[in-house]
Amino acid sequence: MRLGDTGGAAGALSRFMGVYDVKNSKSWRLDDVEHRDQETQRRTEQIKRRFDWRREDIERTRRTHKLANERRMLDARLYQLLEISKISIMITIFSRQTYVESHFPDRTSGTLVFAQGTTSVLSMVCMMLVMMRCCIIMLSTMRFASEVLESHLKLVHVDQIDLVSPFNQWWRIEWEHYWVRTYHIFRAGIALLFVALALTNAALYKWTWFSVGSLTFLAILFWQWRIEGKWRKAAYYPTKYDLPPVSEATTTLSTHANAGSTTHLN
């Protein structure tokens, strides 16, 4: 009996230990599978975070480069306006000195003197208008660069950042027509200066009207083909028809630009 009881107890204990080992193995297996799932999820989340960080870093770099490019275009436009203002000041001073220092003979025709004085004054007025209008545009452009440019750039989606230019959009909406009129006034001032010089020489050296007209025509022709012909490309600015179509970014920027626009002198 004792040997049988001992064998039965040993068998029961063996079965119990077997069941315990199976349960432990199953529990360890489940824990291992759960750990592997957690590790896989952790790695997936880590890869996703790294991908998001990399995407944000690329977007930040693209926006930084875009902002630098916008500022370069803005600086180029400011430099152009500044140089035209300087040229206008120089021509104004030259026209004034020509008008003041010209001492016509007593027998000079009154019509010729009147025409010379009128063209000189009109040339000075045109150049002064150009100078003031360029100053207004420069002030507005510098304000846009310091207060508005970065906020407008943030509105552009990263997929459209290479297609949309906040400065170009703002310039076309706010100042394109104003700048074109200023450039036309500048051209008119140059033409009037040539006419005034021709009339001054005619009054001083007794030229005929034919020689005055011929000299003026040749001077304007030289200006159109040799000087302004090269300036046209420098003063050219792309219109909305020259740029590729964009999606909602352009509409958003246009809406914000119109909302923040002020009344300009036309």
The pLDDT tens digits of the residues spanning 192-212 come to: 888 888 787 777 766 666 666
Mean pLDDT value across the chain:
77
Alpha carbons 161 and 247: distance in angstroms, whole number: 11
Q: What amino acid occupies position 176?
A: E
Tell which residue, 262, 60, 225, has the closest CA to residue 143. 262
**Structure token pair of residue 83:** 């140089």
**Contact between residue 77 and residue 171 where contact means Cβ atoms under 8 Å apart:** yes
pTM above 0.85? no
Separation in Å, CA 23 to CA 9, 15, 35 = 21, 12, 18
**Structure token pair of residue 95:** 């026209």
Residue ranges of domains in the chain = 78-259
Listed range (12-26, 30-44, 53-67, 212-226) with the worst mean pLDDT:
12-26
Using 50, 70 and 90 to split pLDDT, how confident is the model at 248?
A: very low
Kindly report, residue by residue over 46-92, the tens digit of the pLDDT: 888 888 888 888 888 888 888 889 999 999 899 989 999 999 999 88
Select the more confidently predicted residue: 11 or 132.
132
**Contact between residue 196 and residue 215 where contact means Cβ atoms under 8 Å apart:** no
Helices 110-143 + 2-101 axis angle, to 10: 160
